[in-house]
Amino acid sequence: MIEVLEAAYPPARAESWDAVGLVSGDPGQGVRRVLFAVDPVAAVAAEALEWEADLIVTHHPLYLRGTTSVAATTPKGRLIRTLIKNDIALYTAHTNADVANPGVSDALARAVGLVGDLVPLQSFPDDPWRGLGRIGELPGEVTLGEFAAQAAEGLPRTSAGVRVAGDLSRPVRRVAVSGGAGDSLLETAKAAGVDVFLTADLRHHPASEFVESGGPALVDAAHWATEWPWLDSAASILRASGVNVETRVSATVTDAWTRGY
Ligand SMILES: [Zn+2]
């Protein structure tokens, strides 16, 4: 099981600050049911318990900065205690899944309607087919407004929906996407000459200055929603490997923003 995940998402490709791999559980334990989710949070642990999952594969790490206690006095402590008491393992594929091929942004690109070949927005110097973000094309030219509506339709629904920066009637066809917080890639998207860049967690000043400077239009979606399409891709890789497990993708919305007014 872990071999399959590590072949698809090599831990060595994770950022140095990241914490990926097995968080709890025994690599030797039997696994029948695997739940895929973006966030290792209480609602996901509850879903795993109810479905009797043996393993949860999440995108986000539970512990990124280390801890000195797993006591049930903190949300993370309670979560890890629940998992261990119920023999549910937890495995994380984070930045190593972002840069994989296929990885997080491939699934995002397909979800928002990109077709044909996808290339990394920022590839590794030693591997042009792996890296952050993806660039691809829509099947035909549409307006920015039409693309944003299509992206919202293709992504799971969240309270914030998607936000657009730029002229809604602007024609778009060549698109860059990056799952999760992608503002470090703004200049790369501009240099790539795409018509629109879709990512998450964009802030006012960088977005405003980017659009004012004549860069591509921006579409900002919920962080959770941009990474969620990857779950099905990861589950498919596990099933295709021939390991005998049941997989399920959690539909629990764990985006931080739960209501828009
Ligand atoms: Zn993320």
Q: Which long-range contacts (CB under 8 A, 24 or more apart) does 40-43 make?
A: 40/79, 40/90, 40/92, 41/75, 41/79, 41/254, 42/75, 42/78, 42/79, 43/252, 43/254
- Reported as a single tens digit per residue, the pLDDT across 171-215 is 999 999 999 999 999 999 999 999 999 999 999 999 999 999 999
CA of 75 to the centre of ligand 1 (A): 19
What local confidence, expressed as pLDDT, does residue 152 receive? 97
- Reported as a single tens digit per residue, the pLDDT across 116-151 is 999 999 999 999 999 999 999 999 999 999 999 999
User: Exposed (0-12), middle (13-18) or buried (19+): which is 212, by Cβ within 10 Å?
Assistant: exposed
CA of 38 to the centre of ligand 1 (A): 8
Q: What type of residue sits at position 139? A: P
CA of 18 to the centre of ligand 1 (A): 12
What local confidence, expressed as pLDDT, does residue 156 receive? 97
CA of 169 to the centre of ligand 1 (A): 30
What local confidence, expressed as pLDDT, does residue 246 receive? 97
Measured from the Cβ of residue 193, the count of other Cβ atoms closer than 10 Å reads 11
- Reported as a single tens digit per residue, the pLDDT across 59-81 is 999 999 889 999 999 999 999 99
CA of 247 to the centre of ligand 1 (A): 21
CA of 70 to the centre of ligand 1 (A): 23
CA of 182 to the centre of ligand 1 (A): 10
- Reported as a single tens digit per residue, the pLDDT across 148-167 is 999 999 999 999 899 999 99
Torsion of the alpha carbons at 78, 79, 84 and 86, rounded to the nearest 10: 100
Examine the pLDDT at 104 and tell me if it is beyond 90.
yes
CA of 229 to the centre of ligand 1 (A): 12
- What does the pLDDT average to over 106-125? 97
- What does the pLDDT average to over 10-33? 95
pTM: 0.96
Q: How many Å apart are CA 139 and CA 142, to the nearest integer?
A: 9
Residues above pLDDT 70, as percent of the chain: 100
Q: How many Å apart are CA 106 and CA 98, to the nearest integer?
A: 9
CA of 10 to the centre of ligand 1 (A): 18
Examine the pLDDT at 34 and tell me if it is beyond 90.
yes
What local confidence, expressed as pLDDT, does residue 1 receive? 86
What local confidence, expressed as pLDDT, does residue 66 receive? 86
- What does the pLDDT average to over 15-27? 96
Read off the DSSP letter of residue 156: P
Surrounding residues of ion ligand 1, Cβ less than 5 A: 180
